[in-house]
């Protein structure tokens, strides 16, 4: 038995192997390696085994065995989270449990506009399953080819369609959850209306696996968009982003499904680090909006609304140029720039990330205030502020000046974070809009949420997980 295996009580690993079978039990360190570090390379963990259960009954039995042995369980989906929430600790008594083998769609009811799927379904597969039934599942984000719906719900993921359809929380009708003691809560109801006491499902959405393991979810579907119009507009300045959104919303009959902010640096990064990217506009501008309108009737009205509203914005001087995608390839190029940004940043090297939200109308003010404040402590650093400005959610990332000592730059993470989060708090915002808390933002949770809020969270955690074994050391 190696050192890591001896960290858990004797006999537990054999018991777990018997529960999940040989296909569901991985103890080889090389095979586990990709699951033990996070996407950004900030966290590394170690466990004696990773479980890949194939059914809710196996998850329940494994959780019960760990609970009886006093061993922590770290649930993991596609491991695309950005705050270290799905990575176990090194040198602690923990087992990793990945849901990827639980990837069945249990039911798709087109008449009800619902899909009931296991937690390990890849998000893109769910989107495709809905489309095959002439329905639409709107959750969409850059990691959709590898993240799992269980992970999306556990982080209450946002993405690019929140403006129209809401966050993951708004898409969930019911859940099946294995509780920290191994009991199974069957709350997999597909009802649109159900006021029967506390909304238990919402406890688990955004809980980052600290209250239980989601094994299946009943989700809302929507009519499938049959017409999509995508445009890239150069803004007069940063303030014009909010003016443009108002023009688009007022003139489009609620067709705006995405409204994303991109600075020039975003385009430069993608041109440099990603293959086959085309610069969308002939001239260089500081700020851009990537806009998507969708409509469920294919009569040309959606495209006409986009053209008309952009024309109005041009006449008013809110935008100075715009390109409407004339083909799927052109639209894909625009979305590859937007969705490829996190990957392009990894190629570019280290950066200090923030994922904040403020009231939508105040996002330009937030960016300007943060830029001004950071000039003093990180001179020469460039900000890459981009993202879901239509939801007031900015990915405010600070990149080191060229040639900087990276370790020294990254050592400023906490000081930079304090400045960014103080400004966010002064502006009635949130220090974590969509990525969650995980390991990365635990200190911020205690600092920026009220003592009463933290106390209520601790009370909930204690009542559902008195032994503190469900994703230990995350969130709280």
225 binds, among ligand 2HG, ligand FAD, none (CB under 5 to 8 A by kind): none
Tell how far CA 9 is from the center of its chain: 35
Query: What x-and-dash track marks residues 339-358 binding ligand FAD by CB under 6 A?
Result: ---xx---------------
How far is Cα 236 from Cα 2, in angstroms, rounded to an integer?
Answer: 62
- Residues 378 and 388: their CA atoms lie apart, in Å, by 25
Of the two residues 102 and 265, which places its CB atom closer to ligand FAD in the complex?
102
Smallest distance from the beta carbon of 74 to ligand FAD, in angstroms?
6
154 near ligand FAD, judged by CB under 6 A: yes
Q: Is 300 exposed, middle or buried (0-12, 13-18, 19+ CB in 10 A)?
A: exposed
Instruction: List the beta strands (DSSP E) in 387-442.
Output: 393-399
From ligand 2HG, ligand FAD, none, interface partner of 353 (C-beta below 5 to 8 A by class): ligand 2HG
Place of tokens 């959709």: 144
Total H helices, total E strands in the chain: 18, 18
The residue length of the chain stands at 476
d(CA 374, CA 384): 13
Binds 471, which of ligand 2HG, ligand FAD, none (CB < 5 to 8 A, cut-off by type)? ligand FAD
- Which letter does DSSP use for residue 280 in this model? S
Say how far apart CA 54 and CA 102 lie, in whole Å: 5
Give the residue with the Cβ less far from ligand FAD, 152 or 318.
Answer: 152
- Tell me if 395 sits within 8 A of 386, measured CB to CB: yes
**Site for ligand 2HG, residues 120 to 179, rule: CB under 6 A:** 142
Question: Which among 99, 116, 98 is positioned nearest to 107, based on CA atoms?
Answer: 116
Question: CB under 8 Å to 305, separation ≥6 — which residues?
Answer: 229, 251, 252, 253, 255, 293
C-alpha closest to that of 164 among 143, 136, 126, 134: 136
| Residue nearer to ligand 2HG on the CB measure, 369 or 395 | 395
β-sheet bridge partners, residue 244: none
Q: Is 206 in the site for ligand FAD (CB under 6 A)?
A: no
Task: For the segment 231-290, give every residue that binds ligand 2HG (CB under 6 A).
Answer: none
CA distance 154 to 255: 29
Q: Which among 222-230, 245-253, 297-305, 337-345 is the span making contact with ligand 2HG, rule CB under 6 A?
A: 337-345
The site map against ligand FAD for 213-242 (x = CB under 6 A) is xx----------------------------
The reply to whether 342 sits near ligand 2HG by the rule CB under 6 A is: yes
Strand order in the sheet with 172-178: 105-109, 114-118, 213-220, 172-178, 184-187
3-class SS of residue 71? coil
From the list ligand FAD, ligand 2HG, none, partner contacted by residue 39 (C-beta under 5 to 8 A by kind): ligand FAD
Q: What is the smallest separation between the CB atom of 230 and ligand FAD, expressed in angstroms?
A: 17
Q: Which does 77 bind (CB under 5 to 8 A by kind): ligand 2HG, ligand FAD, none?
A: ligand FAD
Nearest alpha-carbon partner for 395 in 407, 386, 403, 404 = 386
Which residue in the set 89, 100, 135, 353 belongs to the binding site for ligand 2HG (CB under 6 A)? Answer: 353
Kindly report the number of other CB atoms within 10 A of residue 22's CB atom.
Answer: 8
Region near ligand 2HG per CB under 6 A, out of 30-38, 90-98, 340-348, 453-461: 340-348
Q: Which two tokens stand for residue 452?
A: 């009463």
Q: Which stretch binds ligand FAD (CB under 6 A): 50-58, 81-89, 421-429, 445-453?
A: 81-89
Rounded to the nearest 10°, the torsion over CA 376, 378, 384, 390 is -40
Q: Which is nearer to ligand 2HG, 147 or 313 (CB)?
A: 147
35 binds, among ligand FAD, ligand 2HG, none (CB under 5 to 8 A by kind): none
Rounded-to-integer distance, Cα 87 and Cα 150, Å: 15
Task: Map residues 385-424 to x or -, x wherever contact with ligand 2HG holds by CB under 6 A.
Answer: --x-------x-x---------------------------
**Contacting ligand FAD (CB under 6 A), which of 73, 115, 141, 367?**
141
Could you say which of ligand FAD, ligand 2HG, none residue 214 binds, taking C-beta under 5 to 8 angstroms by partner kind? ligand FAD
Q: Does 432 bind ligand 2HG (CB under 6 A)?
A: no
Examine residue 258 and tell whether it contacts ligand FAD (CB under 6 A): no
Three-state DSSP at 277 gives coil
Q: Tokens for 10, please give them.
A: 């004797």
The yes or no reply on residue 39 touching ligand FAD (CB under 6 A) is yes
330 binds ligand 2HG (CB under 6 A): no
Name the residues that contact ligand 2HG, by CB under 6 A: 142, 341-342, 345, 353, 387, 395, 397
Tell me which residues touch ligand FAD (CB under 6 A): 39, 74-82, 85-86, 99, 119, 141-143, 147-148, 150-152, 154-155, 157-159, 208-209, 213-214, 342-343, 434-435, 471, 474
């Amino acid at each position: 038995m190696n050192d890591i295996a001896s960290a858990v009580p004797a006999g537990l690993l054999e018991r777990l192997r018997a529960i999940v079978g040989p296909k569901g039990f991985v103890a080889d360190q090389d095979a586990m390696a990709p699951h033990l570090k996070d996407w950004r390379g900030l966290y590394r963990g170690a466990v004696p085994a990773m479980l890949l259960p194939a059914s809710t009954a196996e998850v329940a039995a494994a959780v019960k065995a760990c609970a009886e042995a006093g061993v922590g369980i770290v649930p993991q989906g596609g491991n695309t989270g950005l705050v270290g929430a799905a990575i176990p600790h090194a040198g602690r008594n923990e087992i990793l449990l990945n849901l990827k083998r639980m990837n069945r769609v249990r039911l798709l009811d087109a008449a009800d506009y619902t899909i009931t799927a296991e937690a390990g379904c890849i998000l893109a597969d769910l989107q495709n399953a809905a489309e095959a039934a002439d329905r639409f599942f709107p959750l969409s984000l850059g990691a959709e080819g590898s993240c799992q719906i269980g992970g999306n719900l556990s982080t209450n993921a946002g993405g690019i369609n929140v403006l129209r359809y809401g966050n993951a929380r708004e898409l969930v009708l019911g859940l099946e959850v294995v509780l920290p003691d191994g009991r199974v809560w069957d709350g997999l109801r597909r009802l649109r209306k159900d006021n029967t006491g506390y909304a238990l499902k919402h406890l688990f959405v955004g809980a980052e696996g600290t209250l239980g393991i989601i094994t299946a979810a009943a989700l809302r579907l929507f009519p499938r968009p049959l017409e999509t119009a995508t445009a890239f507009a150069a803004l007069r300045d940063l303030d014009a982003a909010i003016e443009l959104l108002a023009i688009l919303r007022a003139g489009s009959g609620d067709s705006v499904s995405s409204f994303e902010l991109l600075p020039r640096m975003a385009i430069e990064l993608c041109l440099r680090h990603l293959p086959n990217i085309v610069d969308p506009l002939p001239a260089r501008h500081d700020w851009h909006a990537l806009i998507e309108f969708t409509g469920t009737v294919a009569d040309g009205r959606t495209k006409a609304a986009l053209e008309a509203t952009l024309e109005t914005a041009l006449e008013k001087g809110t935008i100075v140029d715009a390109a409407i995608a004339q083909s799927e390839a052109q639209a894909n190029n625009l979305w590859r720039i937007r969705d490829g940004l996190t990957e392009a940043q990894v190629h570019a090297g280290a950066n200090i990330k923030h994922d904040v939200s403020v009231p939508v109308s105040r996002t330009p003010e937030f960016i300007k205030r943060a830029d001004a404040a950071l000039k003093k402590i990180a001179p020469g650093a460039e900000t890459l502020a981009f993202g879901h400005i239509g939801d007031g959610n900015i990915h405010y990332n600070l990149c080191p000046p060229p040639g900087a000592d990276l370790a020294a730059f990254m050592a400023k993470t906490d000081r930079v974070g304090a400045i960014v989060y103080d400004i966010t708090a002064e502006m009635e915002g949130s220090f974590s809009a969509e990525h969650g808390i995980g390991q990365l933002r635990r200190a911020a949770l205690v600092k920026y949420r009220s003592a009463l809020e933290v106390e209520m969270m601790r009370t909930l955690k204690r009542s559902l997980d008195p032994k503190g074994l469900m994703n230990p050391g995350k969130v709280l």
